[in-house]
Amino acid sequence: MLFCAKKCWLPFLSDESPKTTSPVDTARAELTQMGVNAALKVEEKMGDGYAIEKNGDGYVIRGGEKGILYGAYRLLQKMYLGQDACCEETQPAYQLRMLNHWDNMNGQIERGYAGHSFFFKDSRFCWDENRIRFYGRMLASVGINAVTLNNVNVHYPADRLCTEELLPEVKKIADVLRAYGIRLIISVDYALPVTLGLETADPLDERVQAFWNKQVDLIYSYVPDLCGFLVKADSEFRPGPYMYKRNHAEGANLLARALKPHNGVLIWRCFVYNCRQNWRDHSIDRPKAAYENYAYLDGKFDDNVILQVKNGPYDFQVREPVSPLLFAMPGTCKAIEYQLAQEYTGQQIDLYYMAEVWHEVMDVLEDMPPHIAAVTNLGDDENWTGHTLAQANLYAYGEMAWLGRAFDGTKVLKDWIGLTFGQDFEEKDRLEKMMLSSRGIYEKYTANLGLGWMVTPHSHYGPDAEGYEYDLWGTYHRANREAVGIDRSDKGTGYAQQYPEKLAKLYNDPATCPEKMLLFFHRMRYDYVMQDGRTLLQRLYDDHFEGLAGAEKLLEDWQAMEGKLPQAEWEYGLDRFRRQVENARNWCDRMNTYFHRFTLIPDEKGRTIYD
Ligand code: GCU
């Protein structure tokens, strides 16, 4: 059994990463180590793209500098899988294929579920070169080309990453990752000018502009190919241009103009909403916030600004509609942001394969933005992702970012299983089924039908139906004894009207709104009759029972794999699946009791609902 969780889907690579400095060198070294005869032909105009051709008993890989490396890893993976490695020229669907680490310099990771940071510890850089190189290999093997090392919530000392104090260290990491075609992005603090002595960070103040120009020149003297900055401004207590009564185009353009001479980009997050909302006030509806803050600014952003928009209007809940902002602003460059870290989706304890979510987005969003980002699920755990099976989300994300609409979550999963567990793994089909069913199972036992937010406050793992109900974050469902959900139609908050006409119409009416999002868009009575004739209440009960049964089945399936995996790995997984069942039971019982206490209507099938 070759399987080694540490080496993810690249079990065939050497333990020691070759100490290369450029993508082409890396490609050559990896191919040589594997004894593969391949001629490398750099054709710069192919950019990140590549082509693989047969050449006698060897191969030719043509591509731009990075394309050659992607082609080399593709070739090695295909050979390992026993698949035909040759391909016509392939180009990535997205230009920037980014990973955002939410690593703090004290070593903790915000919403991290796989240990600590492998970049930072005790407020300084602390990293193992071989691990960082293996990380580079993993990322390059699925075509990821830019990473942010530090959390979007930037606090001291991370705010110094773009100052003389820490730039020498940033440069060292940039030098290592350059060999894997990866460029760095730094998360910056909008108030840095003030921290460093200016009296203002007002984007229209010339002193502030001069400050950033100088700062950015300095940064590029250390890291000449820095991809750019990532900024979370005026969001969850972070400073931003609103503090100076400036809009977000004015705020973003300030930094974009400083970056422009160096070909850098400014990535500006649109996660801006009122996080001190009063639950008594029904006039504010949080999902409307991103659109309200940005849509009117279309055309006002400089051409090196990228607006990074979360896939849903809320915050990475299990089921959300696609953010209306992604349909708007045709004159503005955007990136879609996903969260591989399973903050609301099981925290890398519960199984949750994300491909379905990405398919759902592609199904409704006709024009995908040119860039893509994901919050990572990585940490310093031996297996990188806490749950070994969560590695699949990173692999599939990279593949999806390359393939775009040609992405097929099932096919990619098959490859991942083959690469990770070996071609002779007897339980391939079973594992595939488990993973493909995982999102549906999780959705059923947690907050189904688009409800969301019924999680334990702060930790976001486990149930708490009213945990956020009377809080300040704008995350309510307003359940009472008759109905649950928020009316976001034109008769309610009007959120549905932020969509293009066709979708607005679809979502506006409970009869046409996809049922899985019914309670996101509508406030419904428990006796509402669903498409299959069941009442809404019965559906809520059924889903929770079915979700729990699904989690139990996952555990059973895993138990059946004993002996088919290295024992330690199997036991590790067993612990996760047991915890998942416990979590699912907790959700099922508490949610059913919650709705039963309101309605006093028993389950039609007579299953136990506790009082
Ligand atoms: C969520 C998450 C925060 C994070 C924020 C963000 O709200 O809970 O920890 O900072 O998203 O995306 O900025």
- In DSSP notation, 338-356 reads EE-S-TTTTTTTS----HH
120 alpha carbon – ligand 1 mean position (Å): 20
Give the position, in ligand 1's atom list, of the atom nearest the Cα of 110: 9
Is the pLDDT score of 146 beyond 80? yes
Q: Where are the beta strands (DSSP E) in 493-571?
A: 524-525
Instruction: Note the pLDDT of residue 562.
Output: 97
156 alpha carbon – ligand 1 mean position (Å): 18
Q: What is the CA radius of gyration of the chain?
A: 25
Is the pLDDT score of 393 beyond 90? yes
Handedness of CA 559, 9, 102, 446 (dihedral sign): negative
Pocket of ligand 1 (CB under 6 A): 110-111, 152-153, 232, 236, 271, 315, 343
Report pLDDT digits (tens) over 12-46. Answer: 999 999 999 999 999 999 999 999 999 999 999 99
User: Average pLDDT in the 503-531 region?
Assistant: 98
Instruction: Note the pLDDT of residue 2.
Output: 66
Percent of the chain with pLDDT over 70: 100
Is the pLDDT score of 172 beyond 80? yes
Is the pLDDT score of 1 beyond 60? no
User: Average pLDDT in the 63-68 region?
Assistant: 98
**Average pLDDT value over all residues in the chain:** 97
Q: Which of 84, 199, 217, 236 is catalytic?
A: 236
The DSSP result for 404-416, as a single string, is GGG--HHHHHHHH
288 alpha carbon – ligand 1 mean position (Å): 17
Residues 243-277 as b/e (b if ≥16 CB within 10 A, e otherwise) read bbebbbbbbbbbbbbbbbebebbbbbbbbbbeeeb
Q: Are 381 and 373 in contact (CB under 8 A)?
A: no
521 alpha carbon – ligand 1 mean position (Å): 23
Instruction: Note the pLDDT of residue 3.
Output: 83
152 alpha carbon – ligand 1 mean position (Å): 9
Is the pLDDT score of 4 beyond 90? no
Atom 2 of ligand 1, nearest CA residue: 111
Whole-number Å distance between alpha carbons of 255 and 507: 38
366 alpha carbon – ligand 1 mean position (Å): 27
Q: Which of 147, 97, 178 is nearest to 398 (CA)?
A: 97
Handedness of CA 135, 137, 140, 145 (dihedral sign): positive
User: Average pLDDT in the 158-162 region?
Assistant: 97
Label residue 180 by pLDDT band (50, 70, 90).
very high
Give the position, in ligand 1's atom list, of the atom nearest the Cα of 232: 13
User: Average pLDDT in the 392-416 region?
Assistant: 98
Is the pLDDT score of 76 beyond 70? yes
Instruction: Note the pLDDT of residue 18.
Output: 95
Percent of the chain with pLDDT over 90: 99
Q: Are 331 and 294 in contact (CB under 8 A)?
A: no
Domains of the chain, CATH where assigned? 5-90 (3.30.379.10), 96-422 (3.20.20.80), 445-486+523-599 (3.90.1330.10)
Atom 1 of ligand 1, nearest CA residue: 315
55 alpha carbon – ligand 1 mean position (Å): 50
Atom 7 of ligand 1, nearest CA residue: 315
Give the position, in ligand 1's atom list, of the atom nearest the Cα of 151: 10
Whole-number Å distance between alpha carbons of 546 and 299: 48
Ligand 1 test: best mutation among 315, 340, 453, most atoms within 8 Å of CB? 315
Q: Are 422 and 565 in contact (CB under 8 A)?
A: no
110 alpha carbon – ligand 1 mean position (Å): 8
Ligand 1 test: best mutation among 100, 111, 268, most atoms within 8 Å of CB? 111
- CB count within 10 Å of CB 292 equals 13
Atom 10 of ligand 1, nearest CA residue: 153
Q: Which of 544, 490, 474 is nearest to 522 (CA)?
A: 490
Q: Which of 30, 343, 381, 543 is catalytic?
A: 343
- DSSP label at 529? B
315 assigned to active site = yes
Report pLDDT digits (tens) over 534-566. Answer: 999 999 999 999 999 999 999 999 999 999 999
Q: H-type helices in 37-125, by residue range?
A: 65-81
The alpha carbon of residue 230 and the mean position of all alpha carbons in its chain are separated, in whole angstroms, by 15
Instruction: Note the pLDDT of residue 321.
Output: 98
Is the pLDDT score of 171 beyond 90? yes
User: Average pLDDT in the 569-574 region?
Assistant: 96
Q: Which of 380, 393, 417 is nearest to 342 (CA)?
A: 393
Q: Are 61 and 40 in contact (CB under 8 A)?
A: yes
Whole-number Å distance between alpha carbons of 586 and 579: 11
Give the position, in ligand 1's atom list, of the atom nearest the Cα of 375: 12
Ligand 1 test: best mutation among 235, 236, 344, most atoms within 8 Å of CB? 236
Whole-number Å distance between alpha carbons of 562 and 566: 9
Whole-number Å distance between alpha carbons of 562 and 182: 39
The DSSP result for 3-42, as a single string, is --GGGTT-TTS-SSPP--SSHHHHHHHHHHHTT--EEEEE
Is the pLDDT score of 231 beyond 80? yes
- DSSP label at 313? S
Whole-number Å distance between alpha carbons of 330 and 336: 14
Whole-number Å distance between alpha carbons of 92 and 475: 37
The encoded tokens of residue 483 equal 């109905």
Report pLDDT digits (tens) over 336-385. Answer: 999 999 999 999 999 999 999 999 999 999 999 999 999 999 999 999 99
343 assigned to active site = yes
Q: Which of 51, 29, 60, 142 is nearest to 94 (CA)?
A: 142
DSSP H or E run through 434: helix 428-445
Q: What are phi and psi of 103, to 5 degrees?
A: -85, 135
Instruction: Note the pLDDT of residue 493.
Output: 98
Give the position, in ligand 1's atom list, of the atom nearest the Cα of 310: 12
